[in-house]
Each structure stands twice: as structure tokens, then as C-alpha cells.
A and B are shown apart, each in its own frame.
Chain A
Amino acid sequence: MKIFERSVWSLITAFFAIFLIIVYVGSSIAMQYGAYINSALGIQLFQQIDNPNSDEDTEYYKSDYYYDDGAYNDAAMRANSNDVAERTASESTVLLWNNDDALPLAKDSKIGFFGIASQRYIYTGTGSGYLSYSGDKTIKDAVEAKGIDVYDTLWAGYTFLSGEYGYSLIGASASGVNDRNYGEYGINEAPWSAIEKVDNSYFAGAMLKNYSAYEDAAVMVISRNGGEDYDTNFAPNGDDRNLDGDYLDLSEQENDVLTNLTRLKAEGHIKKVVLLINSATPLQLMNIAKLDIDACLWVGMGGNKAPEQIANVLVGDTDGGVTPSGHLVDTWAYDISSAPANANFGDHTFTSSTGLPEVYTYTHNNKYLVYQEGIYVGYRYYETRYEDAVLGMGGADSAAGAYASEGNWDYREEVAYTFGHGESYTDFEFSNYKVTRNADGDYEVSVDVKNVGDTYSGKEVLQVYIQKPYTGYDKDNGIEKSAVELVGFEKSDSLAPGASQTLKTVVDDYEFKTYDAYGKGTYILEKGDYYLACGTSAHNALNNILANKKADGVRLNESLMDEAGNADLAEKITISNNDFEIFKTSPYTGAEVGNLFSNADINLYKGTKDQKIEYLSRENWQTTYPSSAVSMSCLNATMVADMQYYTGIKEDPEAEMPKYETVSEEYGQLNLVMLMEFGYDDPIWDALMDQTTYAEQTYLVTYGAHVLAGAESVNAPGGLSQNGPSGLNQANPVLKSCMVFPCQVNMAATWNKELIEELGEAFGMEMMHAGYEGLNGPGANIHRSAHSGRNWEYYSEDGFISGEMLSAETTGMMRYGAILYIKHMLLNDEERNRYGVSIWANEQSIREIYAKAFEKACAVTGLNGIMSSFNRIGCIWAGRHKGLLNDLLRVEWGFEGAVQSDAAVGRHMGVANDEATNAAIMAEALLAGQDFWLWGGSKTILDGYKDNATVACALREAARRMLYTQLHSTAMNGVGTDTVIIQITPWWESVLNVLKIVAPILVGVSGAMTVVSFVLPVVLKKKQGAQADGNE
């Protein structure tokens, strides 16, 4: 009876008992992460059954590229993407300087490429948006294709070196930082000695000795990376140090190579040294400027067509290339630390706190950040301070904030290249500047631009800036005014030498408003002198305004000016009276505009009434320039209470329980597709929602990890989404590769809205052909600091151009049925501690800088998606901030799309806590305007609120927005009025269900056998005993 070995059965039973527990616990976890699993396994949860006899045209969004048989022509589609990507990358390139017309290179020039980055080039930043290069050329290939002779031996030398040198990712522990959501980059440039070593080892010293044969130019490429979780405010160490202890300055090795190249130039071996900066974010130029570099091109991160971009701009338009016409969308300073945001960037912990929720990996409850610089971000700071210095106001020329200046603050020593700067191979002349007010009250601005060069064609940009008066009312009410703000731009066609074009743009009179948070609590129009000026940059426009003021008799300290300015390119507009009513209502919806972010302003929030700060003010630069970080504690009872993950539902007494599973008598059985022509507010939507179930609505809200839930009751098909923003992070199924477009900074640097809309169309078709309608991107946060790791995913330091470019790109993409979850609303302008960090900013800066980037796309373009950010706004998670998601986004702007959370990993977002806590957070977030979570999916998590009319109504509204968004996307392609959508059970779920039956059986059987194994010997023994007794 060996089979009844009791120890064996006991062990087997124990084994299966553990198995049983794991199966049950595991299935519960797996169901929560179902969307991730389905996404990873490529399972479409909602499948459609079509009517084979239907002849409906169900392709609501069509591609431009088909074969004759109706199948997508992926190759032609990709060729179009490549074409627009190359034009964008080329047109975005900014010629920072070009001494003695060092560029373009003549055809048949002989050049050499230096810098490890020439072979370890960075095409996109890192993080969820990262895409690997899938182009087919090296920089050398592309440049040679333009007729330039590239030094092969040197290239081969760098190929050897690229095995050992080049950028690298350095994790938190290697960086010595106790935060796993942290990282740094290595530069690892090959020093001159390494080049010589390779030369001696492989080329017998001939590589450098023979360099003179390629004397036309030495082109040095340097790269800087950036990305999710990886800000760039660190000092590389070890053998990879930077000259100023800043990653965004030259490394010692880069400086070594460049110094040797300039030495070779001085010795006559090289005619010119050209620098290519492969970085989305600005570098600080204090050390680069010391070197005798003839020309410098900012090339950004050009994606797949970066090699062609470089080749095009190096040769210029006369040799089949392109004249650079990009203009900076960020200020380039000599010392990045001079930006006033710098003091309050990075890692800041409450000095003391009590009662805060516990800190976890993805929940930084004890961290904060104060935007003490207010509106003075980027050029708004430098240019405003410049004007005040010239006008002798506010102590602008004091020592405070002087980083690169020899003595007191001097613009010329602080700013290397201003916002909007960009040189060309040709020259342009502006004339006939006109500003006229049209019937709508808007200002039509026009100027004639003429190419006055004699060789090269090129494009120029009309940049229009406004200056609003800085008044006594402003000083009394804590309002700040930037000396210049971009309010309009237009790019010219390519103008041949001698050709001219009249460029026009319209400046909305709404741009004359100012947000008055402390006084009227709304937008106001103040009396005083306004200026609309054009210029080749923000600085040039400001000088034109100053020239205009001078003509009016204003005294200027011209010794501080770097150019005289042209008074004719600035128009003064005088507003005679204050008008505190005119902008009190939203032009988009008519809703009243009022303070929504008082709980994020340290000076207004009652939980920080004992911690008031002074924001940077032009009234007194010296005393208000942030010299150190704001110190904050979290002890106040109100603040501590608000920092909790939820505070309790505020019941709406008027809320009525919605209907479920009810077919409307008026409309009959409805399918989602039938509502294609109906607006969001049409009553038919109520009838559709009445058909859905509570579980379906919950699933629509929770099932969001790169997938969208559908709903059987209304035949909604669901869909798929993927990461962006430089391309869809999903290979085209036929081409087996991803398209990598230029990064968003490059897009903005084109200053060409039409081109970016075209890029958006190509991007939309890439998504359509890949079968994805949702994209997590583009991004629209602000380059508050050059050190923000994710700058490559956002357009600019300026909210206006960010908004214009976002609007253009998304218009193109949505034309092809894409749903775009714009990252990350709001104030997610640095990576460190982004999971739950509390961000403090005043309402004027929130509205005029940070929200501005999202405004046009949401309010005018009809954007269909937003991604709420990880951080808190004040104490409240952005996804639970009603002022942001409901009052601003929907009430003021009229946004009708869906709001998705960022990856639901933080406890403050309603995950990883106990289920009741998660549900409470989610319920409050739904009431605030959050629609769905980038999470795994649960049909039951909100069951506790089934009878709560307030939450049920909010859930229904979120589900409605989800369905509305889905309806107007490629998700509906192929879905006809008689298509039936069914929700399938994925195979892994079936396996788990089977295991949930099999495991108890196995435990039962093995348990029974164990019992038998224990009982049987006793019985047998008794039996044998009885037999023995009988025998006796």
C-alpha cells in the first residue's frame, strides 16, 4: 500500500493548498491588472460581429494611402511621413551663429566629423516616449549624398571609439541617490588622447596627420539627453565631469576635443570648426562661447530624419539642401542657473510635517515645489529685467540674479541667445509694418519681408510680441507684466534672393487681458500704453518697443542696450480706461471666469497662511529674486487634512439616480455609431447612456492601460492606445518599424504651423495604419527650466507658441481619427518627485504660462483628450482637482474630450491602497472631472457607490465622455449600425477560471488521500490485529 504513503500525500496536499491560495489571490490581482495583461498579450477584449450583407461605408476616417484592393498602402504612407519629418527637422534647425559665413559648406567640401555623438547620436529622449532610430542612414551617408567628402578614416576611428564611449543611462543607485525614480546620464565623450590612441593603434598616426586633406571643416557633434524620471540638474562625476559642474555645459572631454580642433584651426590645418548641438533643451554657453567656433547649429532631436536634416542644413539650399530657418523656442543663457526658477527646482522636502500619508515609491507625499518666479519664466524674465535696467526701474541692474555678469546684472552677459533667435544663410529686411483693428476687435498685423541676400533662398518669421503696461494697479494687486509676450507669428514661404512677401497675423484682442488673482479675481483689461511689436526675436522686438518709447521722449540708458531698435516696427495702442468686466466671461463658453487655483497659491491658501512668500516682482528685482528655495512645512491642520488622499464626497442634493439598462421609448435601441452626427449635449446621449449598465460604466473608467473599454449594451467597440509623442510606440504591422518624428521642440522651432499640421496628419495616418486610435501625447508642459528632463516632449518655455503648435499638430492628427491624451495637465514641469509632489504657484502664472499651452487646443481646436498629471496642485492631486479639470477645462474652455490619468501607480491616484480607499479617491476624482485611469480595469471597484446618486451621475458623465471620444475616432472604423460588439473572455482569464475549479478539486482529492493514508494503516492494523486474534 505504498500509494497511501502519508508523508507524500501530506506534502502533495500542502502543495495544492498553496496553489489554491495563489490561484485565488492571483486571479484577483490579475483581474485588477487585466488591461495590462491584455495589452501585453495583444488581446482585444471587445470584438465585433459584422453583418456580412451590410453595404454601409463604415470607414469614417480614411487614410490618404490605399492600394487598389482597398488595403492600406503602408509604404506610401511611411514615405509621406519621412518626407514631412525631413522637412520639419530641416526647417527646425537653428543657426545660432555663423561667423564670416562659415556655413553653408560648398559642394565637394572635404570635412571630418568629430565627437562620439556623431555615431551615438540621440534621436529621441528617454522614457515612455523613447523610440529607437529606424532610419536607414548614418550622418556620414546623408552628408555624402549631398556631395560632401567625409573623412572615412576619422569616421572609422570613431567607430572604434563608439564601443567604449558615448552616452549612457545611470540609475539611481549608481548615481548615489536614494530614490528609485531618479536617474542621470553619462556623456562619456572620447577625449583627444583616445582619438590619438586609436590613430596610433590602427592608422599608424596617419588619421590626424592627414586631417589637412579634409581641412574644409571639422564638424563636432555633442549630445545631451533627457527623459522621464531623468532631470538634468546634476553634476556628472568621475571621469565624466563638466566644466561648470552642470550636465548642460561642456564636459571636460568635449572641451578637450574642441580646444584641440580650434588649435588645429589656429595652426592652419583646419579652415573652420562647426558645432552641432544634439539636445532638445538649451545648453549653457559660458564655456562654449570661449572657444573659437565658427558656426553652431542647434539640431535638437530630429528623429528618423536627423541625418538628412544635418546634411540639408550643412550644404544649404543652393546644393539641394535647406537654408536654416528655425528660431529658438527657449532662451539660451550663459549660465542656466540665472533663470529665477532655478532656486526652486529639484528635490524639496517639507522641513517638518505631521500626519502626512506614508511615502511610497510612487507617492512622494512629503515633497513640494514652489514656482516663486511667478510669470517670469524664460524670456519673460530676461527681457523684462532688460527693459527695467534700460529704463532704470526696479533695481534691475542690481547684483541679485547676476550669474554670468562680471559685476551687476547685465543682459548682454547673461543671455547668449534669446527666444526667437535664429540666423540664416541669407539676410532679410522688414518694412511697412502695420497694425489695424478689424471688425471683430482683433488686431491685424502685417509686415513686408524681403530677402536682401544675393545667394541663398530662405524663410523668415513674423514674430509679434505684446507689451502691456505695468501699472500702479498692478503693483497694488500683485500683478506682474512681462516686457514682451509672444502673441502671434507667421512664417514666410521660401524667398529667393530679392523676393519679398507680406506676412500677416491676427492678434486676438483677448491677448490684451491680464489675470488679476488678488484684486478682481478674473481677467481684466487695464488702461495704459500697449505695444504690438515685431522683431527677429523677443529681444529685438523689445528693442523696437524701446526705440518707439524713446521716440516718445522716454529716457533710456542706452549704454545697457545692445542694439538701437527700430521704432517703426512697434505700434503703440493706448487703452484709455480700465475695464474689469470685458474679459470676465469666457469667450469660449460665456462662463464667468474666477479664481480656481487659490488653493495652490501659498499666499492665498488658508493652509499656508503662516508661510507667505514673496513672488519675483519687477517692482523690486533685488529683493524678490529667488536666491534660495522656499522652505515649507506641512503642520497646519487644514493643509494636513487636504494632503490626505480623499476628504469625503460632498453630496449633491439635486443629483438623481441615473437609469440603467433602459431602452428609450423615444429613440428605441441605440448603438453608439448612430450618434455620430449628434452633439455632446444632445438629449439622445442621455438615452444612450440609459442603456448602459453600472458595471460597463465602471469598466469604461478603470480599463485604461493602453486600451479603451467598449460597452456591449450600446455596441461600443473599445480601442487601443500607445505612448507618444515623437511617434506611436508600436511598430506598423506591415513595415515592422515605428516612425520617429522630430521631437516637439524641433516642431515648435520651425515656427511653421502649416507644416506641423501636416506632420500631425502624417502622424495620424501612422496611428490609423497601425490600428491604434489613442496616443499618450503630445506633451504641453512648459520648459520652466532647461534642466527638466522631459523638455524634449514639450514644445517651449512659452505658453503661446506651445499652444499654437499643440493646436496645429492635434488638428492634423484628429483629422485622421486620433484620440490624443495631452500630457500632463498641469504643472508637471520637472521629473523629480513628480509622483504626488505638491506644486505651489500663483494663479496668474498658472493661467498665463502653464495652462495657456493647453488652452487653444482645448477651447478652440476641439481637442479630444487630456492626461492629468501625477503631481498635486497645492495639496490636491491634479486628477482630483475640480478647479482644473471641471471649472477651467470644461466650464471655462468647453472641453468635451476625456481626461485620462497618468499611469495609475501612485497611491494618491486611487491604486495600491485598500479597495475602499481606492474607491473613495476614484469617486472624488470622478466628481472633479477625471474620466478614466491608465490602469487595469475593474467592474466592481465602485460598487460601494452604486446607490450614491452624486457619484453615479459623475460616473455616468465620465462614461459618456469616454464613449463620445471613442465615437469620434478610428475606433469606429468598421462599426456599422448593425454591428454587434461582444466582450470576450480572454484566454488567460479562462485558464484562471478553470484553475479556480481544478485547484480546490486537487486539494480535495489530495486531502482525501492524506486522510486515507492516515486512517488506512490504522484500519489495516486493526484488521490485521483482529485476524491475528482470530488465528490465535
Chain B
Amino acid sequence: MSNKTYTIPLTVNGESKSVTIEARTTLLSVLRDHLELTGTKEGCSNGNCGACTVNMDGYTVDSCCVLGVEAENSRIETIENFGTDPDKLHPIQESFIRNGGLQCGICTPGLIISTQHLLRNISEPTEQEIRLWLAGNLCRCTGYDKIILSVQDIIGLDPG
């Protein structure tokens, strides 16, 4: 057992932040409990469901499986980076709403982060590629078809 704390500087959604945490604190907890960014959700807590997906230095990660201390000096993007103006949501958000790509909504922040990561890497993904890139984001409501439609509907738009 340790009682050390670590002061970790990191950039979240373009803003410089610093948190003082124990080594066991996950990145998910840094975001939700220390920075009060509760848009990122906790689902399975073991790297299966993808509800806690955030973008870390250009790559999506399950933030429940990353320690806060590992995120030192990294750039994190969360769902709070999208649609900061309620009257003008991000095109990915608009598309999920328009196409019924969400119902209860708990998987949606992670799905939007994964969708953006996909479209940043493959500008015109096939249905198979969409299914592959979103396989790490489980949804128990939609049956996925409308999520696929939501992604297909914004192919060609700037994912940001």
C-alpha cells in the first residue's frame, strides 16, 4: 500500500489542467471525479463496452483501463469537446439524433468519439469498416443498424 500522490499535468479539450491523484486513479476517474467532466460514462469497467472511450493523443482508448498517471502531458478529447453551442451541435451528434442512432444514450459519448476517430482515419469507410471500428462500443438499445446509418449519413463531412 502506498499513500503517495502524483501531480499530473494534461490537456483536456484544449485546456491545460493539473490533477493530484493516487497511482490507482483511472483516467476515467480523473475526468469524471476530478475534472467534473461527466459526459464520459462508466459501463463495464474492464475494457469491453467502450462507454468510457476518449481520444488520447490522437488514439481512442478505454479510459477505465488507463491510469491517470499514464496520461501525464497527454492531450485528451472527450464528448464535452463536441457541440459546445446547444443551437449548433457537431455534425456527428446531429446525425445520431437525425437517424435515431441512440435511445438511452449511455453508449453515445463513446460512440461519437469512436466515430470521429474512424472518420479522421478513413474518410469514406465501408459498412464493414464502420462495424469493425465501432466493435468496441456496445449498444444494448439500437441493434446497431441506426448507428451504422448515422455514420454513413455524415461521410464526407469534416469530423473535426
Q: Real complex partners, A and B?
A: no
- Point out residues on A near B: beta carbons under 8 Å: none
